[in-house]
Amino acid sequence: MDAADQTDPSRDPRPAPLVVAASLAGLEGLVLLLLAALETASVDSERLSLGVSTAIFFALTGAAVLGCAWGLLRLASWARGPLLLAQLIALGLAWNLKDAPLVALVLVGCGLVALAGMLHPDTMRALGTLPEEDPQA
């Protein structure tokens, strides 16, 4: 393979909707890791167990979402299911945060765009979950 093949975007087996969905999921994972760090920094003796358990939850969830986003970029079909679930949870969380409209809108926007990217036929074909179209049909 020469340098021209490596820079030609049409040779990339990852369709744009998949890349967008994986990128948004990666950002969500980073935000969860940031929340874990902020929660850890705010732990005090009055709420030690709650703060530590919340920070661990955010850190593990963020790491899992980042791992699935990386897997999706590497065309691992197993990564799509957990990321679909994460987006549905984000939409439910947005509904509960409707008193904070900016946060809710960001969650809804990211969730819907990521869902659309993961459910796009090109993404499903790239992951092998949708059969290739038969040109003779």
Band (124; pLDDT cuts 50, 70, 90):
very high
The pTM score is 0.83
**Average pLDDT score over residue span 59-77:** 96
CA atoms within 13 A of residue 102's CA, in its CB half-sphere: 0
Q: Where are the alpha helices (DSSP H) in 75-130?
A: 80-96, 101-119, 121-126
Q: Is the pLDDT of residue 116 over 90?
A: yes
Distance, CA of 114 to CA of 28 (rounded, Å): 11
Mean pLDDT of the chain: 89
State how far the alpha carbon of 80 is from the alpha carbons of 36, 104, 114, in Å.
24, 23, 11
Q: Which two tokens stand for residue 55?
A: 């920070």
- Give the pLDDT score at 118: 96
Q: Is the pLDDT of residue 35 over 70?
A: yes
Q: Is the pLDDT of residue 17 over 90?
A: yes
What are the helix and strand counts (H, E) for the chain? 6, 0
